[in-house]
Structure 1
Amino acid sequence: MKTLLQAVQFSLFSFAALPALAQEAPVNINEASVETLTTLPGIGAVKAQAIVDDREVNGNYKSLEDLTRIDGIGDTTVANLADNATL
């Protein structure tokens, strides 16, 4: 009975950890909508809209560092986006 209880506990903890283990595909900043951009760390609605506006005026980003053209996005924010954003 103890083994069964341990197996049930292990299963419950395993399923609870699945969302944390599931990694979504990186967001393409050259194609993403405002809504999708807001899922990135450090990017709220205002910055997301600024990214889209800048992209429309200046064309696609060639590197993540180009995001520093946006007010409020600095090197730290760009570094935090490295695993979550792509071109």
Structure 2
Amino acid sequence: MRNSVLSYLFLPLFACLSVSAHAVTQTVEQMPRAAMATGAVQAQSARLDLNKADVQVLEAGLSGIGKAKAEAIVAYREANGPFTSVDELLEIKGIGNALLERNRDKLKVE
């Protein structure tokens, strides 16, 4: 008698737990897609324009770019006119392929 009463009490409990666990699993699987979509939109809007950014913005926004390289980017832009592509950064002393590739997704040219 006691076992049958306990089984009537625990059966709905376990059924609810199973449904809840399934719902959480589906929610967690959907979260990264939404987060990636939001991140992609933020990444596009947060890109630095090489033709408009000043020394402080370049220094703060780019990985591996300190004050000296940021000043070199601005000096190159002033001497040679606006950048036509991000790849033009390779013309600046101290900026190589590795540094450019590390920052390519953070940059744009308008």
Q: Give TM-score, length-normalised by structure 2.
A: 0.56
Residue in 1 that maps onto 2:88: 66
1:25 aligns with 2:46: yes
How many residue pairs match? The answer is 67
Identity among equivalent pairs (%): 37
Quick check: which has more Rg, 1 or 2? Answer: 2
Gaps of 5+ in 2: 1-38
If each structure's helix is expressed as a fraction of its own residues, which one has the higher value? 2
Are 1:82 and 2:104 an aligned pair? yes
Whether 1:37 and 2:58 are equivalent positions in the alignment is yes
Q: Identify unmatched segments of 5+ residues in structure 1.
A: 1-20
**Aligned residue number for residue 54 of structure 1:** 76
SS at match of 1:73: coil
RMSD over equivalenced CA pairs, Å: 1.5
Runs of 4+ in 1 over 2 A off after TM superposition: 21-24
TM-score by structure 1 length? 0.70
